[in-house]
């Protein structure tokens, strides 16, 4: 994950509700007794707003005067003019979306920190700094570019380090959850192969040389030129209306059954190798062609497919373990999360019911870590 993407939340968000009477002080929410302060919320709100563009700002509730003025100014000439009430409604929607995104993001931070503590996972400052330096080097070879990123995004260096820390925690949790879940037996591999043999079959393929013309008369001219000894490259250049194959000297490689229009498809797989065939009428025009090479159908053996099947089954097993963990994780931590009225999301126990969504695939290079929000 790049530095720019570190603090993007993946939550499926819903609207506000009532409640939150148990939240103390100036906090907008509490997770297992840890307060999420209003000041942190406001700072992250500004960061989230900046993701909408260089000049983007947080809509200004409750009247949204500046936001309304910006929308009026941005309305293109010739478009129907809207009322201030219409613009205000848009501003309210923008603010609600930003607020809910940020609340869920801040809650997810606390969930991951809490889960790491419960599972005995420790991420040191040295680990964070090392990972940060590696990512920074890849994303921003020049320090000036990184400083510009901080300015443009509204984030501080501490914000980025926090994102790095939470990703390391998330990766460690994922690894712990899926450890040992990727073991696959030879019998499982064989059973999968027997049930999915079609996946390991390779159909017959034919390499063609083609000329496509608009009319039958032109197709016959092209065919006569080919039969007189001219090359497909020169004939395609002169006659063909298919730019893609013309640019390759008339070549159309690795055609499998069913990939072309039926009339042409039937002709291709009835044609004899190295014989000029056509013209064949299609909706695109008239084809003259030659089959240059026939690759016979084949099927991977169990031994040849073994590595691929093992990876598939291991990934499925890891995904199952991860799905079960995420479901339990969300349930446990939602029960420990209470939000103030006006800041409710599906992550709050006193908020709207969450809408389940599938978790990303587990395992493999770059596989997403388990997230506290779907």
The domain that contains 74 carries what CATH number?
1.10.4030
Query: What's the confidence (pLDDT) of residue 49?
Result: 87
- How many structural domains does the chain have? 2
Instruction: Band the pLDDT of 235: cuts 50, 70, 90.
Output: very high
Both tokens of residue 37?
A: 């302060």
* Residue 211 lies inside a defined structural domain of this protein: yes
Asked which of 17-31, 117-131, 247-261, 285-299 is least confident by mean pLDDT, the reply is: 17-31
pLDDT digits (tens, 9 = 90+) for 47-101: 888 876 656 778 888 888 888 888 888 776 667 778 888 989 999 999 999 999 9
Percent of the chain with pLDDT over 90: 66
Clarify whether residues 157 and 281 are in a common domain: no
Residue 194 lies in a domain: no
**Of the candidates 165, 146, 144, the residue with the CA atom closest to the CA atom of residue 155:** 146
Q: At residue 359, does pLDDT exceed 70? A: no
Structural domain harbouring 224:
204-296
Same domain, 174 and 57: yes
Do residues 330 and 289 both lie within one domain? no
Residue 186 vs residue 2, higher pLDDT: 186
Model pLDDT, residue 53: 63
257 CB contacts (<8 Å, ≥6 apart)? 203, 204, 265, 269
* Predicted pLDDT at 54: 55
> Does residue 361 belong to any structural domain of this protein?
no
Supply the CATH number for residue 226's domain.
3.10.50.40
Mean pLDDT of the chain: 85
Region 194-223: what's the mean pLDDT?
92
- Same domain for 25 and 46, yes or no, is yes
**Which pLDDT score, from 0 to 100, does residue 76 have?**
67
Residue 357 has pLDDT above 70, yes or no: no
Q: How confident is the model at residue 364 (pLDDT cuts 50, 70, 90)?
A: very low
Residue 275 lies in a domain: yes
pLDDT score recorded for residue 314 = 94
Q: What are phi and psi of 350, to 5 degrees?
A: -100, 20
Q: Give the integer Cα–Cα distance in Å for 210 and 70.
A: 57
Lowest mean per-residue pLDDT among 82-86, 208-212, 321-325 = 82-86
Mean pLDDT of the 312-340 span: 94
* In a shared domain, residues 65 and 152: yes
Residue 81 lies in a domain: yes
pLDDT in tens, 140-198: 999 999 999 999 888 999 999 999 999 999 999 999 999 988 899 999 999 999 999 88
Mean pLDDT of 368-372: 34
Q: What pLDDT is attached to residue 138?
A: 92
What does each C-alpha distance from 177 to 123, 320, 334 come to in angstroms? Answer: 17, 10, 20
- At residue 241, the pLDDT reads 94
Of 366 and 374, more confident? 366
Q: State yes or no: pLDDT of 17 exceeds 80.
A: no
Predicted local confidence at residue 361, as pLDDT: 41
Indicate whether 280 pLDDT > 70.
yes
Mean pLDDT of 129-137: 95
218 and 286 in a common domain: yes
For residue 197, the model assigns a pLDDT of 86
């Amino acid at each position: 994950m790049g530095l720019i993407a570190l603090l993007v939340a993946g939550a499926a968000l819903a609207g506000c509700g009532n409640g939150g009477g148990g939240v103390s002080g100036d906090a907008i929410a509490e997770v297992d007794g840890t307060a999420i302060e209003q000041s942190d919320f406001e700072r992250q709100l500004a960061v989230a707003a900046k993701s909408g563009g260089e000049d983007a700002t947080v809509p200004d509730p409750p009247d949204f005067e500046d936001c309304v003025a910006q929308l009026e100014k941005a309305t293109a000439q010739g478009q129907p003019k809207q009322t201030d009430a219409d613009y205000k409604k848009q501003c309210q929607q923008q603010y609600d979306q930003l607020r809910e995104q940020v609340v869920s993001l801040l809650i997810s931070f606390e969930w991951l920190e809490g889960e790491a503590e419960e599972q005995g996972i420790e991420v040191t400052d040295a680990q964070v700094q090392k990972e940060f330096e590696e990512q920074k080097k890849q994303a921003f070879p020049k320090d000036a570019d990184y400083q510009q990123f901080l300015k443009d995004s509204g984030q501080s260096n501490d914000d980025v380090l926090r994102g790095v820390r939470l990703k390391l925690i998330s990766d460690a949790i994922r690894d712990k959850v899926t450890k040992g879940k990727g073991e696959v037996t030879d019998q499982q591999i064989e059973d999968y192969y027997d049930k999915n043999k079609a996946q390991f079959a390779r159909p017959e393929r034919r390499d063609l040389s083609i000329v496509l013309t608009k009319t039958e008369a032109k197709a016959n001219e092209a065919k006569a030129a080919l039969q007189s000894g001219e090359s497909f490259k020169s004939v395609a250049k002169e006659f063909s209306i298919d730019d893609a194959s013309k640019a390759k000297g008339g070549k159309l490689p690795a055609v499998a059954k069913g990939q072309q229009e039926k009339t042409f498809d039937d002709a291709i797989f009835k044609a004899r190798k190295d014989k000029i065939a056509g013209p064949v009428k299609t909706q695109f025009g008239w084809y003259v062609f030659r089959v240059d090479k026939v690759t016979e159908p084949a099927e991977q053996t169990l031994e040849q497919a073994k590595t691929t099947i093992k990876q598939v089954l291991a990934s499925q097993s890891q995904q199952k373990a991860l799905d079960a963990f995420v479901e339990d994780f969300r349930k446990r931590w939602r029960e420990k999360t209470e939000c103030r009225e006006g800041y409710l999301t599906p992550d709050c126990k006193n908020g709207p019911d969450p809408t389940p969504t599938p978790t990303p695939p587990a395992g493999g290079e770059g596989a997403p870590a388990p997230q506290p929000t779907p």
